[in-house]
Amino acid sequence: MELIFVHGALVRDGQWWWQPTAELLQKRTGVQSRSVALPSCGETSLDELSGGLAADAAALRRELDSVDSAIVVGHSYGGTVIAEADHHDAVEHLLYVSSYLPDAGTSQGVIMSGESDPVSIDDNGDGTMSVSGYDASSFGARFLQDADDETQQRGWDRVTAQSAGAFMTPTSAAGWQGVDSTYIVCEHDHSTSVELQRFHADRATRSFEVPTGHHPFITRPDLIVEQLEALLE
């Protein structure tokens, strides 16, 4: 059994985001974690960047092809990648953190369009999109308000442009359907509204709520590992 982490939009280096939880999970259970390098975030090659959502889903499937069994964790946009990757025999369980379980035919852009206070994103004119109007301080206040200043800065350092295809391409599958799943609602999330989280949480097998911001696997890894331990048992 391994854990495969699919990070959110407009950032890179999923291993850094997941590391606090990865270390605690391995210490308590021996389970190792890996993170999917998302082509749409420029984490593989420039040739794959334009592949958008489809390339990201293919990257997840390649990771799953290399293991016998896995728990897949989707954070934010990562849930849309899971949906597009469709069903895979290696998936034992899906864990969603402030994420999405979209129907087939739904794009990330459509999911986000219903937010009353959406994250500001601009088209860069080169086939990519980036967060707009943020600096290290305002980014930290929105996405990592429950982390210390150093962690907020390190998160900001990992913000990146992402292929517009990640946002505009409708999903062709709903890989979450028929798979045992758990959804973690982040009650103090300043990025994804609690209302939108609860809408998607209702589609999971079960859900629970934690008093954290958008990245509890950084700020409260103990809460995430508790749920993973329960799944492993």
pLDDT for position 147:
98
pLDDT for position 48:
87
Q: Check whether 176 has a pLDDT greater than 90.
A: yes
Q: How confident is the model at residue 221 (pLDDT cuts 50, 70, 90)?
A: very high
Q: Check whether 89 has a pLDDT greater than 90.
A: yes
Q: Using an 8 Å Cβ cutoff, are 95 and 182 in contact?
A: yes
pLDDT for position 114:
85
Q: Check whether 47 has a pLDDT greater than 90.
A: no
Q: Give mean pLDDT, residues 164-190.
A: 98
More confident residue, 116 or 65: 65
Q: How confident is the model at residue 58 (pLDDT cuts 50, 70, 90)?
A: very high
11's CB contacts (< 8 A; 6+ apart) are 17, 41, 155, 158, 159, 160
Which residues are 58's β-sheet partners? none
Q: Is the pTM of this model over 0.75?
A: yes
Q: What does the alpha-carbon distance between residue 166 and residue 80 come to, in Å, rounded to a whole number?
A: 9
Q: Give mean pLDDT, residues 142-168.
A: 98
Single-letter code of the amino acid located at 210: V
